[in-house]
Amino acid sequence: DLHLSLRRQRQMCIRDRPQSEKIKLSRLETVNKIEDFAYIDESAREKFGKLPIHPLIRTHPDTGRKAIYVHPGKLEKLVGMEPAESQYIIQTLLDKVLTPDICYRHKWRKGDLLLCDNRAVLHLAHHDYDLNEGRIMHRILIKGERPV
């Protein structure tokens, strides 16, 4: 199963926050890294180069809606904060805003194809399947615009 938040999720997450919190969040920027997996070696990290910085709250280029734009596994830190403090702030925020009414959990069937707009959707792979069965997944990244 793949737990996918509905397209509107990231927008709803920020839309429903108090105005004072929206202002604070809109000032934050994320420093992003390659995820910490054993199969990612030092040469891949060097190829990645300088860690990119993105706004925590971005504007979707097609809809104009504000949205939370963060991947906890790729968050090195928030600009001006230590990594542990940054992870705590982001996890606290996500715990508040990721509610069941805006989540979608896909039940995979043979032949399924699922497309996601990562500018508007948070996704999480659950490990609630038999790992001995194996699975094939193809991921395509389309070059996009720099988050603003």
Per-residue tens of pLDDT for the chain, all 148 residues: 334 444 345 555 677 778 888 889 889 999 988 777 777 777 877 777 788 899 999 888 888 888 888 888 889 999 999 999 999 999 998 888 877 777 788 877 888 887 778 787 777 667 767 778 776 777 777 777 777 7
State residue 13's pLDDT score. 66
Locate tokens 């991947």: which residue? 71
Amino acid at 62: D
pLDDT of residue 85: 95
CA distance 88 to 136: 33
Q: Give the pair of three-digit tokens for residue 12.
A: 């709803």
Q: 């699975």: which residue's tokens?
A: 135
SS3 77: strand
What was the pLDDT predicted at 4? 41
**pLDDT given at position 5:** 41
**Distance (Å, rounded) from C-alpha 133 to C-alpha 114?**
20
pTM of the predicted protein model: 0.74
